[in-house]
Amino acid sequence: MIIRFDKLGVVIAAIVAYAALAAPFATFRANRIVPGQARPILEALPPTLGILLLAIVIAAAIVALLRTPLILRLAASVAALIALAVLIGVAGGFLTPAGNTFARVAPASGFWLLIFAFTLLLADVLTRLNLSPWARVGVLVLATLAIAVLLVSGSWDSLSILKEYASRADSFWAEASKHVTLALGSLAGAVIVGIPLGVLCHRVEKLRAGVLNVLNIIQTIPSIALFGLLIAPLGWVAVHVPGAAAVGIRGIGTAPAFVALFLYSLLPVVANTVVGLAGVPRAANDAARGMGMTDRQRLLDVEFPLAFPVILTGIRIVLVQNIGLATIAALIGGGGFGVFVFQGVGQTAMDLVLLGALPTVALAFAAAIILDAVIEMTATKRRVVETA
């Protein structure tokens, strides 16, 4: 029998071999800002569990290396990821001396590389399975539930990032809700203003180039500058417009961040509305006119439904971009997860950076998966209608 290797498997096995055998699994630090000491798998875990983890990881790497059925590769990647997720928590408890509240245990490069390698394997399997949109959302829900179970059960409580969380749990949720409000609120504003503006640009050709050029130029202004530039005008509005201060408009804080995100969001929404409407087949419009539809009926019943997937693509771009950009709001006192990122950078406390960065990445990632699924669903529905 000839043994056949999987090309991606060779890459994965190489990463796993390096990460499991040569790189540190966890870092131990006497307190939160001193440099840490690296611990490999066998020193970071009780002996039996260390050997067990090595065995699981190596077995999964062999499954990846050889040409194996997809279902086996799926099982191997999921088993390895679960083992890693559970055992890094065990390592936290094992390495922390009893009763010591200053010591910090954090996942080290070996752990992150192993997670990366097996996520790569999982991503490859999921791509090859060619899942339906609903199934992809289902996988996302399962993954979220698994992480939630690990968080609630307290098995990660001994890790440094959760120690940072424990000491600022209240502000974490306050910043989280500010972050989501900023990202979603500015998106809602951009949709309310951007879609009618896009329709107007589609109907009135003279406006189109001008509006799109202005929106393009706004995109070139660096985010931190745009956030900063809005401080002065909004401060002026707060002082001089009656009632403005009462609804929360202030020079610094959430208001300039909101306006900046709104301005950045306009271009993708307006541009995609214009492109989507321009792509509506002439025959559909002619038929609608022939049936005696008014302009308004034509817009709502024919053009919008046909342009919807393209407009949604614009909304997806905006949402993912806003979730990332909202981190910068922290620089001007606008709150959000960026508060932890910049505090962490300032104190060189990387666990604090992670406390801000990981939820941001997770949110952006989840938003992308969900909206991609919705876009695919609306696009398929449209195709079904067309062929019917």
Q: By the criterion CB under 8 A, which residues form the site for another protein?
A: 7-8, 109, 120, 123-124, 126-128, 217, 219-226, 228-229, 231-232, 320, 323-325, 327-328, 331-332, 338, 341-342, 344-345, 348, 350, 353-354, 356-357, 360-361, 364-365, 367-368, 372
CB of 295 to another protein, least distance (A): 31
Cβ-based nearer residue to another protein, 238 or 357: 357
| Closest to 266 (Cα-Cα) out of 194, 162, 325 | 194
Residues in contact with 35: Cβ distance below 8 Å, sequence separation at least 6, in sequence order: 29
Cβ-based nearer residue to another protein, 255 or 277: 255
Q: Helix H segments across 204-328?
A: 205-220, 223-229, 231-240, 254-278, 282-290, 295-297, 304-325
Full DSSP string of 285-315: HHHHHHTT--HHHIIIIIIHHHHHHHHHHHH
Return d(Cα 326, Cα 335) in angstroms, integer. Answer: 8
CB of 294 to another protein, least distance (A): 36
Cβ-based nearer residue to another protein, 55 or 217: 217
CB of 233 to another protein, least distance (A): 9
Residue 134, CA distances (Å) to 306, 369, 370 in order = 22, 10, 9
Cβ-based nearer residue to another protein, 75 or 366: 366
Cβ-based nearer residue to another protein, 50 or 335: 335
Cβ-based nearer residue to another protein, 136 or 382: 136
CB of 23 to another protein, least distance (A): 12
Cβ-based nearer residue to another protein, 128 or 203: 128
Return d(Cα 59, Cα 63) in angstroms, integer. Answer: 6
DSSP state of 31: S
Return d(Cα 326, Cα 181) in angstroms, integer. Answer: 10
Cβ-based nearer residue to another protein, 8 or 284: 8
Answer yes or no: are the C-beta atoms of 351 and 32 closer than 8 Å.
yes
CB of 261 to another protein, least distance (A): 13
Residue 361, CA distances (Å) to 62, 316, 325, 356, 373 in order = 30, 15, 11, 9, 18
CB of 103 to another protein, least distance (A): 18
Answer yes or no: are the C-beta atoms of 105 and 160 closer than 8 Å.
yes
Q: Helix H segments across the chain?
A: 7-21, 41-44, 47-65, 70-95, 109-129, 133-153, 160-167, 169-203, 205-220, 223-229, 231-240, 254-278, 282-290, 295-297, 304-325, 338-346, 350-387
Question: What values do phi and psi take at 94, rounded to 5?
Answer: -70, -40
CB of 323 to another protein, least distance (A): 7
CB of 60 to another protein, least distance (A): 17
CB of 372 to another protein, least distance (A): 8
Cβ-based nearer residue to another protein, 14 or 287: 14
Answer yes or no: are the C-beta atoms of 323 and 363 closer than 8 Å.
yes
CB of 147 to another protein, least distance (A): 17
Cβ-based nearer residue to another protein, 271 or 328: 328
Return d(Cα 334, Cα 20) in angstroms, integer. Answer: 42
